[in-house]
Structure 1
């Protein structure tokens, strides 16, 4: 959820300039350099870094922006475990953190990264950062530094929090489709993505292409009234329209989800530009109902099994209560009895236990 903050006229102008930059290209370096320039007009900083992790090594990054001495990053693989900023944001992805929330001041001044910056003639006195958990297996990061003792304010934090989802979504688009666009086959590349069904859409709702099993999936999840030949189903068209209309809210980074008793369908909307025209890739992922391991059924009541299976799908108590037609307090009681019967302390532990038993 984006931070609630009233933008001044100047901030609104710069925000829309930044969003235009994010839509303007699929060159990752070009997009992030432009985003960094606009971001620093909103949140003044003396230095900054925007990066995307590289496959296979969680300490290796493509530094799309490194407004810092090159020497600081030349040996970053060895320094990564000492980087208190990185450690803090990895523990809390998609949350904007200031240095005071990362380490006590004395610990910061005693850190390897702080001492290294001083050796290079810098004074990285204040920091604010966010890890953008944009895809399984890789992530992006934004870090801003000040070389004076002038802490980042609550408003600075709110502004970065507001813009981070849009920067994450643009980063995702660049990584997925940038190389394909440069080769001129972006649409074909989108249709070849594994493990999902794909629709390529020209706004507002015209389907230009679809993957092999997409039509069958749509028939399973949408009624005949909702479907229309050559167009997105009505619920997806509405979600896409909202995503395209409000990029400032990060809406196009949020999935659309439909849940039923048999499972759920998730749709992600990814914008990309091909030959100067904006298209959208609608990625559809279908998840079947999670079944409780057979061994649990002798230890849980039928209702407790129903609650446990919905927790395994990632549902919260409110959604479980709505689906089962009971109060959230009732769900909470059932869930506690599930924990007691299975000897697990939490939802996360329950899901991990289920994975081990399957």
Structure 2
């Protein structure tokens, strides 16, 4: 099991959903970085459960306890270790999953790989709860990037069939990103929030769940960050983004929408603007040949519907090796997309900082 990532900034995540605590260790941070802990707490709060009908009612305060690497709110250069206590668990709700795995969840392959010794409670180490340490690490990364003039922000692009307004990929403002990062329900067009919430509520009342897309932007990056082949910006960011539970698709710029286009319609042509080379459009999402081209980096992340739903589902009993019917108990998100926005921001910030270092 590998729970570490990074070349220059190394991050290791530990803990289980219903264990005593979760946390992370960040190695490679520069010394002397003053951290705004209020900003860290704000990002943690945006991800935390139990505050909205679109999320699980499990209430966790997600207060990070810094164990090392910070003195007087300033990084020391030593590994930054952080821990979050788990205080609101109902492990008994998961007892039947030891023998009857959830469809579309990690339960069955994890049972096989770890010979049944994996912690199934709340998903264990496979739980979305482990994104809390990622958000912490990302909040730190965002502050270091901001000192370099790089700002990261994201919005809910889609929930079910409801979409946020499209934005000009070549004209992403810092003000918009800062506003999105301050919202608990991050949308560009605030009038779509009610429709998105209605989509989630419809799924919840039908004992179901619904998926969606988070779109993330990074502005202020110079041209030439990253590299080709396996050092590509896309591959670096995607490897972190796919570490977020329920992520099933990642695309940059137009992504799959390139497939039915002609180059003459989607090539990002150049111009001289304010004495510098600039692109007239940004269909490639700010990345060419694996390297940033100076335009905003744009990445969209698709989340599948939460597999833990209250409707009865077909499964198998791993003890009797007979077909079985599964009725899932416990507290689960009818849609994880709103809470996933700060997680995607964090993943992108971590990846970009690693590349910048």
TM over 0.5: no
Q: TM-score, normalised on structure 1?
A: 0.23
Q: TM-score, normalised on structure 2?
A: 0.23
- Highest relative contact order (Cα 8 Å, sep 6+), 1 or 2? 2
Between Structure 1 and Structure 2, the one with more helix by share is 1
Higher Rg? 1
